[in-house]
Structure 1
Amino acid sequence: MTENPIDRAPERRVAFGEAAEQYDAARPGYPDELVTDVLEFTGRRPQGVDALEVGAGTGKATLAFAARGVTLTCLEPDPRMAAVLTRHCAAGMPHVTVENVDFERWQASDRRFVLLLAGQAWHWVDPEVRWRRARELLVPGGTIALFWNDWLVADEPLRHELRAVHHRHLQGLPPHSIVDAQPRESVMAPNSWVWEELRAQEDFTDVEHRLYLSRHTRTTAGIVDLLSSLSSYLILTEETRRAVLSDVSRTIDAHGGALELETRTGLFLARATPA
């Protein structure tokens, strides 16, 4: 019987820790241009930016901002992901603090931040509280920066073959599948839910959307590791996941053992209004 990964969607938020090391090794980071744009939007020198990172994961965004001199408090609810991030920051990054807690429950006392950032994570935050909490934790004029990556197989014939592989084992394609012609459930477009919700908030102004495009080549093993780090694959039964990934491996190997991924990175920026 084929499996529908969407049926187990509520489990996806807590699935990443099962593959923390794979996530760290396989997930692409974010463009240097994005980091530059975010810091320029704050209007401050990087060393003067005190940032709160929501859903920091293993540090794909953390390390890029920390390398510029930004001070970061990183919130990561999964202890296995937080452990990898802590290891990365243990040497030479005293300006990075990692806390194993989710954004909704974190107690900040009276501390306020110049920048709140979230890479590949804001959609997991409770929609009933996320915007209010963000405004409460930012100084007046502070920046919120939310960004995501989408990955698509650039070669159309190979993409169709990989779609067929998934249909052999699953009732429906996983959300954010790399074998879509166009991303489903994407936040890249200006008219996505992120854009609409952010523009509707009285507590935020100067809303902007930016898009960054890049391509990179991945080996068969690299693609399997990437898929293995995605929540919609992690929540599959072990038998189904093995069958899908084995079939994916055979298909890519038959095409030379590598493929090109098109990466689309969407960034949303806004400023907190005066209290």
Structure 2
Amino acid sequence: MTDIHAQPDPERRKVFGEVAEQYESARPGYPEQLVDDVLEFAGPQGRDALEVGAGTGKATLAFAARGVRLTCVEPDPRMAAVLERKTAGLGGVTVVAGEFESWPRPARRRFGLLLSAQAWHWVDPVLRWELAKAALVPGGAVALFWNDWYLSEDALREEVIEAHLRQLGELPDHSILDARPRESVMGDYDWVWEELRADRGFAGLTHRRYVTEHVRSTAGTVDLLTSLSFYRRLPPDTRAALLAEVASLVDAHGGAVRMTTTTGLFLARTVG
């Protein structure tokens, strides 16, 4: 689960670097079919790509494995350092530590594909679409995608919700505890679709959804929560007490939980 909203909090997007290694190990990746669909949509020019908010490389490695040349812009230097280490042996991957909004893109350097995994909502809404168009060749593709994760088991979900209410008195706005997303980017009703449709500089809008399921251990569940910004912003003692209770609940359910992952993909091309 992520913080998926149209208006980003500039400070909140940098809390992930505090747990960059945990983020790398805990966060699930993206379906192979999604990578296939993006590259088919982008065509041959999509082999030269710009990745915005690359993080620790969950999407980077999947596209690099298909021979895509990537320039990866990541605002948090701690996340960028993990990404550089992971891609050190790969040719064709360049890591840039810095904000996409202020990145001094080389003159006349334009890409066939702009992709952003779990990160486009952090980009300044006043600038993001103009920056995307400026970075792309005419007809270049935009591919934006996010994962939502949910506890598949209702009984465990209710117990973990009760633990949150006991410890915090509230629930995250958007979390693995939702039976259905309260704030998401999984359909053609949300801000991503509306903003793309309203911008005359984009055409060929396409939306796809992928559903997968995986099993996560107690430690893996706690690591996933630790990597989310809502939990990063809690006072350390409060966070530790809550996560300890969550761990006890997962242990009581056999030390493993099933999680459903829904991945939403948005595709478009620049006009011109």
Q: Same fold (TM over 0.5)?
A: yes
**Which residue number corresponds to residue 24 of structure 2?**
24
Q: Give the SS at the match of 2:148.
A: strand
In the TM superposition, 1:43-54 aligns within 5 A as 43-44=43-44, 49-54=47-52
User: What is the total number of aligned residue pairs between the two structures?
Assistant: 263
- Larger CA deviation: 62-71 vs 190-199: 190-199
Alignment partner, residue 267 of structure 2: 269
In structure 2, what is the equivalent of residue 191 of structure 1? 189
Report 1:164-183 matches (<5 A).
164-183=162-181
How far has the Cα of 1:175 moved from its partner?
2.9
1:100 equivalenced with 2:97 (yes/no):
yes
The equivalent residue for 1:40 is 40
**Structure 2 equivalent of residue 152 of structure 1:** 150
Counterpart AA for 2:170: G
- Are residues 1:211 and 2:209 paired? yes
Counterpart position of 1:5: none
Name the stretch that deviates more: 18-27 or 161-170: 161-170
Consecutive unaligned residues in structure 2, runs of 5 or more: 1-8
Q: Distance in 1 between matches of 2:240 and 2:11?
A: 19
Q: Which secondary structure does the structure 2 equivalent of 1:15 belong to?
A: helix
Quote the offset at 1:143 in angstroms.
Answer: 0.2
Answering whether residue 118 of structure 2 is matched by residue 120 of structure 1, we say yes
Contact 1:104–1:129 under 8 Å retained in 2: yes
Q: Shift of residue 184 of structure 1?
A: 2.2
The offset of 1:185, in angstroms, is 1.6
Q: SS state of the match for residue 56, structure 1? A: coil
**Residue of structure 2 in register with 1:229 after alignment:** 227
Structure 1 residue runs of 5 or longer lacking an equivalent are 1-8
Distance 2:10 2:101 in 1: 17
Which residue identity is paired with 2:55? Answer: G
> Is the 1:224–1:249 Cα contact (8 Å) retained in structure 2?
yes
TM (norm. structure 2) is 0.95
Counterpart CA distance in 2 for 1:233 and 1:183 is 18
Shift of 1:236: 0.7
Residue 10 of structure 1 and its aligned partner are, at CA, apart by 5.8
TM-score normalized by the length of structure 1: 0.94
1:28-48 deviation per Cα after TM superposition (whole angstroms, max 9, x unaligned): 000000000000001227xx6
Amino acid at match of 2:219: A
AA aligned to 1:146 is L
Q: Distance in 2 between matches of 1:40 and 1:79?
A: 32
- Preserved CA contact (<8 Å) 2:10 2:122: no
Identical aligned residues as a percent: 61
Task: Please say if residues 150 and 176 of structure 1, whose CA atoms lie closer than 8 Å, have aligned partners that are also in contact.
Answer: no
**Amino acid in the other structure paired with 1:217:** V
Match of 1:258 among 247, 256, 259: 256
Residue 57 of structure 2 contacts residue 83 of structure 2 at CA under 8 Å; is this kept in 1?
yes
Q: Tell me how far apart the structure 1 counterparts of residues 135 and 80 of structure 2 sit (CA, whole Å).
A: 21
CA contact (8 A) 1:11 1:235 kept: no
Name the counterpart of 2:3. Answer: none
Report if the CA contact (8 A) 2:22-2:223 is conserved.
yes
Could you tell me how far apart the structure 2 residues matched to 1:169 and 1:222 are?
Answer: 21
Q: Distance in 1 between matches of 2:123 and 2:17?
A: 17
Flag as ranges the 4+ runs of structure 1 deviating above 2 A.
none
The one-letter amino acid paired with 2:184 is S
**Other-structure match for 1:6:** none
